[in-house]
Amino acid sequence: MGESNGRESESHENVHNVVLVVLDTARATSVDEVNAPGERNATGCGTAESRTMPTLASLAAEGTSFERAFATAPWTVPSHASLFTGTYPSEHGTHGGHTYLGPDHRTLAESFSDAGYETVGVSNNTWITEEFGFDRGFETLRRGWQYVQSDVDMGTVVRAEHLEAKLEAARDRLFEGNPVVNAANLLYSEVIKPQGDDGADRTTTWIADWLQNRERDRPFFLFCNYIEPHVEYDPPQAHAERFLPPDASYEEATAIRQDPRAYDVGDYELGEREFRLLRALYRGELAYVDEQLGRLRDALESAGEWEDTLLVVCGDHGENVGEHGFFGHQYNLYETLLHVPLVVRGGPFTDGGRRSELVSLLDLPDTLLDTAAVDDRAFREQSWGRSLHPDARNDPRDAVFAEYVAPQPSIDRLEARFGDLPERIYEFDRQLRAIRTAEYKYVVGDGEFERLHRMTTDPLETTDVADDEPTVRADLRERLERRFDGLESAATEGSVSMSESTEDRLADLGYL
């Protein structure tokens, strides 16, 4: 299946260790570009944005930045599953209609594990845990937001807004499982954890300790998900104030309601000022997580592993912060959700170059395996990735593809929460697929939905030219059909269950 994964020769620049860092909900498209179109990247290496994420900009200057990298899906579960398997969402079957990563496809962690690597993951997104099948191949997959590992999440206590609610939540959760462990996690979250932190500080500290104390007889594959850029945007005050306008306070910005599903269904409204402040909070989150990247680099250097490690930093998807009438990252395939940052540093990616070809996150697994000289024929055969290694024998992509297989949350869940919905919401009950070339972006959905944008002149996707360019529309639609119609869909029978505390945490993240 793979599109071409070989290299012309074994490179002397193979690395010993591999670190894959996902900045959850970090988009590449500038959060300020509606007001300042000249700013290029919120997370990448544009001059204005290097002030937001100087560590990532520094890594790009040392390594390689990919300016046109795209996710295969607009939200966490299908995007991570594609990143782990090198397959498209409808093929791996992990999406809004079935949120479990099944055993039908080999994972990147399994490839490294079978090659003798120590495989460790730290996730701060509730979806990317063993509860949803993402632990396959990992010797350890930690819940980064917890001080002590537990299946019970105490977040409902932490997020309660007043003492009575906290006491009620504590009564419900404290004696579920081990009360001592629950109390320790509650104490950490309420008293010790830094203000505005969603697990990044504990995650980086744990990784630093692990790097210092691990047995060094094997190379390692480390996966890390930082969730700070995800709703709710609540960065430390000092980070937020760097980006807030002079006439706004931190208190005003953080008092804005952040409930994407309620906004999408018209349960409340936000004006341009509110979105302007939310974008400032979002940039504050990016700035905070950038500091964690710096700490992670320091930890690798202190452990003596930096020069022998391939470090990859990417977003798994982006975010709408008022753009296109949406808040969050569901129900559409706009560039704000698919265009993600991607920086690779180490091994052959050390020239400070910028690559402008179209790149899919599907390409990362093959790139990591190539750079680490791991030969996994079974993974190569299932993967649709094209290795980005400089010595890879494959042509650059002339198009990237993305899918939104099923709405998340479903329309039934929205009805259960909000009751009667506006008629336009029922249009979201659809599958979407997109093809993006250098010049055009075409999106087609169930029924008669389709949009065509000329990206060279309409980068914000405001003007649909499908009726004006029927030949282009027909050609791109045919290419989409060729790409997806022949794929064998994964079996997704059976329901996916989750604990009550997990469901509560996902609801707070805006998923349910």
Mean pLDDT of 419-447: 94
What's the pLDDT at 488? 57
More confident residue, 259 or 351: 259
Q: How far apart are the C-alpha atoms of 35 and 379, rounded to whole Å? A: 44
Backbone angles phi, psi at 114, to 5 degrees: -70, -20
Predicted pLDDT of residue 61: 94
Give the pLDDT of residue 11: 42
Is the pLDDT assigned to residue 6 strictly greater than 50? no
The answer to whether residues 282 and 276 touch, using CB atoms and an 8 Å cutoff, is: no
Element holding 512 (H helix, E strand): none
Q: In which band, very low, low, confident or very high, does the pLDDT at 10 lie, cut at 50, 70 and 90?
A: very low
Q: What is the mean pLDDT of residues 440-469?
A: 95
Half-sphere exposure of 325 (CA within 13 A, CB side): 9
Q: Yes or no: say if 324 and 332 are a contact pair by the CB < 8 Å rule.
A: yes
**How would residue 384 be classed by pLDDT, with cut points 50, 70 and 90?**
very high
pLDDT confidence of residue 328: 94
pLDDT of residue 147: 84
Q: What pLDDT digit, counting tens, does each position of 102-146 carry? A: 999 999 999 999 999 999 999 999 899 999 999 999 999 999 988
For residues 296 and 302, give the distance between their C-alpha atoms in angstroms, rounded to a whole number: 10
Amino acid code (one letter) for 57: A
- 334, containing H or E segment: none
Reported as a single tens digit per residue, the pLDDT across 63-96 is: 999 999 999 999 999 999 999 999 999 999 999 8
CA 314 to chain centre: 8
| Least confident among 3-7, 80-84, 150-154 | 3-7
Q: What is the pLDDT of residues 178-237, one digit of tens each?
A: 888 888 878 777 777 888 889 999 999 999 999 999 999 999 999 999 999 999 999 999
Copy the structure tokens of residue 460.
């914000």
